[in-house]
Structure 1
Amino acid sequence: MLAIIFVVTLLLFASPLVIGFLGMLAPAFAWLPALNMHQPSLLGWQQLFAWPDLIDSIGLTLLSGLGSTLLALWWCYLILRRYWLSPKWHKIERLLAPLLAFPHIAFVLGFGLMFSSTGWLARIWHHAGFVDTLYPNLIHDHFGLGLLFALAIKETPFLLLMSISILKQLDIKRLYQVSISLGYNHQQTWHMVILPLWLPKLRLAIFAVAGYGLAVVDVALIIGPTHPSTLSMLIWQWFTDGDLTQLPRAAAGALLLFGIVIITFGLLRLAEWWRLSYSTSWQYRGAIQHPARRIPSPIAAFFSRGLLLLPLVMLPILVIWSFALRWRFPDLLPSRYSVRFWQQQLEPLQQLISNSIFLALISSLCALIMVILCLEYRQKYQRGIPTTLIAIPMVAPQLSLLFGMQTAISFIPGQYFWLWVSWSHWLYVFPYIYLTLDGPWRSYDQRLDQTARSLGLNGWQTWWRVKFPQLKPALWLAFAVGCSVSLAQYLPTQMLGAGRVSTLTTEAVTLASGQDRRISAIYGLLQGLLPLVFFTIAMMLAQRKTSPAQTRISR
């Protein structure tokens, strides 16, 4: 039975990856029988390279995607170097869960309300006596710096979380003590000893951050550059164009974006190899004492703790804007408050929240059950899903993969939009739940199962009464992670739902493009609070004591 379910899960997971690639490849070479394009050609590529701003769009894509990845990695390294062996690290570690639960869309909506030309920071700038024309506007700026900084700030907690298990495996305390005894100072120890061991193990997380930054659409729609826009934005505009003859150009752009992401991964791997090859030269020259170049404490505190707290600052900004009735510039606070906008949106919000919760629960529950069965199969037969296959949805550009899936689904008769959207959410939820539970499953002591079986319990009783209580906190955490991933999905819902399946995320992005800021704040606030609710419930259920009926072992 386990083998059958494992094969079914593998097919459900691998088939959309193959379908997505083929569905992107065929229209990229103008083979679309539904549009009377029966002969492959280079029409799409000709239209793509004839676009006047293509080079600028590729440059903006590399600047925002690659720049945000390197900046997030640098911030992550600074935070770890400053706080890992200090008592303050436990406070930072407790912040990571709510920071990761806070979706990108909610953060970016608050980011826009704070850093726009009439945002909160601009109001403080005006009251401080600075010239308004010198204010650095980061929203829709021509160089995409606002997009770069927003992505870097939001992805830093993810890299920190991925680094925790890595540094625990490396036993940093012992490495640090040995390095100090050999004459290396604190900075040299991290730079020459810990960094070469930490960076290769973080490679998959870095690729995931880079892949998201290079192909992001929802965040770019809200704060990204517009003239020209990033390549992913161009592809999205071509894909949503009413002229279906433009689909070959959109498919060619999606394939080009996929190639850019692969090349970027190669460049990152090459940079890692060069950096680590250079770092190992210390073994031949010994400890060399250089003057300590310490970052001033206020600046170090801002980069290490202020940037981590910045996403949480967006919540009160969204709350204030959602109740603001009159807020003139440059007043620091609204002059009048009202609940009128909440009352106006109450009816549509009920449907959107129910849709979001339904998709999150169904995709996360299905993914959790299948992950448990796959891990049990691996534990029993020592064969599991390859990590490389698991990581493809995390690192591959969503736009390229979903474009192919949408093209392939268009050949299937019938309107099963909820099924396709649920399937796409499951595809992106499954890897996160799998990686969340992979560590606890590997560290579980199988001797407990052997003892339970020797006392007369069958396989199901052993799992339910012995193994489940041990893994219950990890299971609830994985379920909450899956729900938060599903709640944040914009492109899968829009592309495979064909606009017929609406969630808080899709409406929040749509309203952010020009509607009233107060309504956008309401949707962003609720979109940010829902994952926190799931994490809170998961933590409460994980801490509940196991019932006596569950722990009682039959004779």
Structure 2
Amino acid sequence: MLRLLYILTLTVCCLPLIPGLGGVLLSAVSYLPVLGLDEPNIAGWQAMMAWPGTVVSLKITLYTGISASILAVLFTFLILQACWGTKRWQRIEKWLSPLLAMPHVAFAIGFAFTFAPSGWLFRLAALFSGETEPYHWSLVQDQYGIGFIIALAIKETPFLLLMSLSVLKQMQVDKLLTVSQSLGYNRGAAWFKVVFPQWLPKMRFPIYAVLAYGLSVVDVAMIIGPTSPTTFAVLVWHWFNDPDLQLLPRAAAGAISLFLLCFGVLLIYRGFEHVIVRFWQNWQFSGSKHISLPGKQLFNVIALVPFLMIPVLLIWSFALRWRFPDIWPTRLSTRFWEQESSHLVELAINSLILGLVSASVALIFAIGCLEYRDKYHKSVPQLVIAIPMLIPQLSILFGIQVAIYMLPGQWHVPATIWAHILFAFPYVYLALDGPWKSFDQRLTQTARSLGQSPFKAWCAVKLPNVLPAILLAWAVGLSVSFAQYLPTQLLGAGRITTLTTEAVSLASGQDRRISAVYGLIQAFLPLVFFAIALTASRLADPKRRLAKQTEQREINNEFVRTKPHY
């Protein structure tokens, strides 16, 4: 059974990528017999380079993606060095799950409503300055992409913090700090010169994922990114949606260029990491032993921004009349909720079906692969985890879309479900990898030595211990599925609509009140499932049950002791 699950996982995650890669490569060389393009040529590449904004879009993509990733890594390290091992870090761990649960699209809509020229930030500023007209500058869709960079950095920092948990535990940071401080280094210098050179290489894969996402994101860039010109990923997406199908080679060439751009940036980062950690090491043992680094209150700011989006979206969803510079709407109404209620139910059902199916299948695949690794000592190939997280979605999905169109029949529903499983599986697998490694296999071996079958031993001993992690991983898979925009749009062929696809399309210029309604519901669904998972995991925690049993036993013993004996 485990071997079958392992093979099925590799098949689902790898096999469809072959026709997908072939589809995008053939399209890029203008070989699409279905459209009458029978002779390979480089017309698509020429059309891409001839587009007036291509070079500028590439520059903006590099600038915004790299800057946002650097800021996210910097924020993460500053928070870790200031809070790790303190009571503040325990509070941070509790807030990571709800921060990660908020989809990028909902966060982007709330960010736009807060930092737009007529948003809450500028309304507060006008309250003190006396301005009566909206400001002429903002952090939303600004030509320099400053707001886009800040939004991506804030949204990716909780992910890097979560990935740092297992890394720092493996490094035994407390012992490193103790030895460093015994040699005269203060906390800041110890983190910068001792912990950082070891932490950065171990965080290579999560940083790769943040870099790739920042360079290739479409939905967030469409809402708050620069518009004149746009980032290269958004430009390629517009080319895909061009009604003239003869221009598909240009879009395919753009998709391959986006992949090469991401791959090149990741190689450059790998070289940069090697230089500062392995090659140029003087800074690690020279200079001052006393370094003061900020960061104690940084997480409060990063956590405040996403949580501020919820009340902003809620108020906008009920605002009927809200003139600048009023802090509060002059008229409130439920009209927009009533207007969209029937459509919201349909979209929520579609999102839930896709999310439940894809997250559950991804969870089964992840558990099967982890159990296969424990039994046969053979892990899932890193490419299975890396491809969905590191390769731009446009580069994968366009080729798969072309390949699907060549098949007889309608495949948009299974293709969409497959895409959600593909992108949810790596996150579910990584969420379970740490708990599976930390589980003591001798417990199940003891159960089997007492006569239990492997399955009964697993259910009776291992499952109660890893159940909290399973529930949280399932919630992570749901959250990833809820946030998928490009897979649903491309492979769904416009026939499958979810809260995310509608929220992105409405945020591009429709009524703010309706956009707020969709953004609020999209943010609410993952939070509900994370709350359910957290509550269930606490109730299912064997340590909690054992503590309750011990407490009850003490109560019973106390009752017996105090009872008179005759």
Is 1:436 aligned with 2:438?
Answer: no
Structure-1-length-normalised TM-score? 0.94
Whole-Å Cα distance in 1 between the matches of residues 220 and 145 of structure 2?
Answer: 11
Are the equivalent residues in 2 in contact too, given 1:480–1:531 (CA < 8 A)?
yes
Tell which deviates more after alignment, 128-137 or 245-254: 128-137
Residue 273 to residue 103, structure 1, CA distance change in 2 (3 Å): same
For these two proteins, the number of residue pairs brought into alignment is: 543
Tell which deviates more after alignment, 97-106 or 440-449: 440-449
Whole-Å Cα distance in 1 between the matches of residues 489 and 384 of structure 2?
Answer: 25
Indicate the residue corresponding to 1:102 in structure 2.
102
For 1:31, the aligned partner's letter is Y
**Alpha-carbon distance, 1:7 to partner:** 1.3
Is 1:349 aligned with 2:344?
Answer: yes
Whole-Å Cα distance in 1 between the matches of residues 440 and 205 of structure 2?
Answer: 27
**Alpha-carbon distance, 1:74 to partner:** 0.7
For 1:229, the aligned partner's letter is T
**Alpha-carbon distance, 1:173 to partner:** 1.5
Are the equivalent residues in 1 in contact too, given 2:118–2:135 (CA < 8 A)?
no
**Alpha-carbon distance, 1:546 to partner:** 8.2
Are the equivalent residues in 2 in contact too, given 1:477–1:538 (CA < 8 A)?
yes
Whole-Å Cα distance in 1 between the matches of residues 57 and 471 of structure 2?
Answer: 42
Pick from 489, 494, 508 the counterpart of residue 484 of structure 2: 489
Indicate the residue corresponding to 2:223 in structure 1.
222
Whole-Å Cα distance in 2 between the matches of residues 185 and 474 of structure 1?
Answer: 36
Indicate the residue corresponding to 2:335 in structure 1.
340
SS at 1:128 equivalent: helix
User: Alpha-carbon deviations, 1:233-266, whole Å to 9, x = none?
Assistant: 1110110111001100000000000000000001
**Alpha-carbon distance, 1:282 to partner:** 4.8
User: Alpha-carbon deviations, 1:176-219, whole Å to 9, x = none?
Assistant: 12111112222221111110000000010001011111011000
Whole-Å Cα distance in 2 between the matches of residues 42 and 334 of structure 1?
Answer: 55
Whole-Å Cα distance in 2 between the matches of residues 135 and 278 of structure 1?
Answer: 47
Whole-Å Cα distance in 1 between the matches of residues 508 and 98 of structure 2?
Answer: 27
Are the equivalent residues in 2 in contact too, given 1:122–1:135 (CA < 8 A)?
no
1:261-410 → structure 2 map (5 Å cutoff): 261-277=262-278, 280-282=281-283, 285=286, 288-289=288-289, 292=291, 295=294, 300=295, 303-410=298-405
Indicate the residue corresponding to 2:446 in structure 1.
451
**Alpha-carbon distance, 1:302 to partner:** 5.4
**Alpha-carbon distance, 1:19 to partner:** 2.6
Pick from 483, 490, 501 the counterpart of residue 496 of structure 2: 501
Whole-Å Cα distance in 2 between the matches of residues 282 and 216 of structure 1?
Answer: 35
Whole-Å Cα distance in 1 between the matches of residues 536 and 297 of structure 2?
Answer: 35
Indicate the residue corresponding to 1:86 in structure 2.
86
Is 1:123 aligned with 2:123?
Answer: yes
Are the equivalent residues in 2 in contact too, given 1:192–1:279 (CA < 8 A)?
no
Indicate the residue corresponding to 1:259 in structure 2.
260
Is 1:423 aligned with 2:418?
Answer: yes
Whole-Å Cα distance in 2 between the matches of residues 125 and 546 of structure 1?
Answer: 48
Residue 546 to residue 79, structure 1, CA distance change in 2 (3 Å): closer
For 1:147, the aligned partner's letter is F
SS at 1:523 equivalent: helix
Whole-Å Cα distance in 2 between the matches of residues 198 and 279 of structure 1?
Answer: 16
Tell which deviates more after alignment, 184-193 or 55-64: 184-193
Whole-Å Cα distance in 1 between the matches of residues 114 and 482 of structure 2?
Answer: 23
Is 1:245 aligned with 2:246?
Answer: yes
Whole-Å Cα distance in 2 between the matches of residues 283 and 381 of structure 1?
Answer: 41
Structure-2-length-normalised TM-score? 0.93
**Alpha-carbon distance, 1:303 to partner:** 3.3
Whole-Å Cα distance in 1 between the matches of residues 221 and 293 of structure 2?
Answer: 35
Whole-Å Cα distance in 1 between the matches of residues 518 and 285 of structure 2?
Answer: 58
Indicate the residue corresponding to 1:201 in structure 2.
202
Unaligned residue ranges in structure 2 (runs of 5+): 547-566
**Alpha-carbon distance, 1:405 to partner:** 0.9
Indicate the residue corresponding to 1:211 in structure 2.
212
**Alpha-carbon distance, 1:384 to partner:** 2.5
Whole-Å Cα distance in 1 between the matches of residues 318 and 296 of structure 2?
Answer: 32
SS at 1:441 equivalent: helix
Residue 134 to residue 275, structure 1, CA distance change in 2 (3 Å): farther
**Alpha-carbon distance, 1:15 to partner:** 1.4
Whole-Å Cα distance in 2 between the matches of residues 489 and 504 of structure 1?
Answer: 10
For 1:3, the aligned partner's letter is R
Indicate the residue corresponding to 1:518 in structure 2.
513
Whole-Å Cα distance in 2 between the matches of residues 358 and 492 of structure 1?
Answer: 15
Are the equivalent residues in 2 in contact too, given 1:23–1:405 (CA < 8 A)?
yes
SS at 2:320 equivalent: strand
Tell which deviates more after alignment, 362-371 or 274-283: 274-283
Residue 379 to residue 425, structure 1, CA distance change in 2 (3 Å): same
**Alpha-carbon distance, 1:388 to partner:** 3.2
Are the equivalent residues in 1 in contact too, given 2:28–2:44 (CA < 8 A)?
yes
Whole-Å Cα distance in 2 between the matches of residues 226 and 266 of structure 1?
Answer: 28
**Alpha-carbon distance, 1:289 to partner:** 4.7
User: Alpha-carbon deviations, 1:63-113, whole Å to 9, x = none?
Assistant: 111110011111111111111133211111211110000110110000000
**Alpha-carbon distance, 1:283 to partner:** 6.1
For 1:248, the aligned partner's letter is P
Whole-Å Cα distance in 1 between the matches of residues 257 and 461 of structure 2?
Answer: 51
Indicate the residue corresponding to 1:9 in structure 2.
9
Whole-Å Cα distance in 2 between the matches of residues 303 and 4 of structure 1?
Answer: 47
Q: Give the share of equivalent positions with the same residue, in percent.
A: 50
User: Alpha-carbon deviations, 1:515-537, whole Å to 9, x = none?
Assistant: 11111001000100100111111
Whole-Å Cα distance in 2 between the matches of residues 2 and 277 of structure 1?
Answer: 40
User: Alpha-carbon deviations, 1:386-411, whole Å to 9, x = none?
Assistant: 12331210111011111111111111
Residue 245 to residue 463, structure 1, CA distance change in 2 (3 Å): same
For 2:30, the aligned partner's letter is A
SS at 1:38 equivalent: coil
Are the equivalent residues in 1 in contact too, given 2:358–2:481 (CA < 8 A)?
yes
Tell which deviates more after alignment, 251-260 or 338-347: 338-347
Unaligned residue ranges in structure 1 (runs of 5+): none
Superposition RMSD on alpha carbons, in Å? Answer: 1.9
SS at 1:30 equivalent: coil
Indicate the residue corresponding to 2:469 in structure 1.
474
Is 1:145 aligned with 2:140?
Answer: no
Whole-Å Cα distance in 2 between the matches of residues 395 and 491 of structure 1?
Answer: 15
**Alpha-carbon distance, 1:277 to partner:** 3.6
Whole-Å Cα distance in 1 between the matches of residues 279 and 324 of structure 2?
Answer: 52
**Alpha-carbon distance, 1:378 to partner:** 1.5
Is 1:154 aligned with 2:149?
Answer: no
Residue 382 to residue 25, structure 1, CA distance change in 2 (3 Å): same
User: Alpha-carbon deviations, 1:432-488, whole Å to 9, x = none?
Assistant: 111111121122222122222222221221222222111110111110100000000
Whole-Å Cα distance in 1 between the matches of residues 466 and 199 of structure 2?
Answer: 27
**Alpha-carbon distance, 1:544 to partner:** 2.6
Indicate the residue corresponding to 2:173 in structure 1.
172
Whole-Å Cα distance in 2 between the matches of residues 445 and 421 of structure 1?
Answer: 38
Are the equivalent residues in 1 in contact too, given 2:117–2:135 (CA < 8 A)?
no
Whole-Å Cα distance in 2 between the matches of residues 249 and 314 of structure 1?
Answer: 38
Residue 354 to residue 134, structure 1, CA distance change in 2 (3 Å): closer
Whole-Å Cα distance in 1 between the matches of residues 186 and 383 of structure 2?
Answer: 38
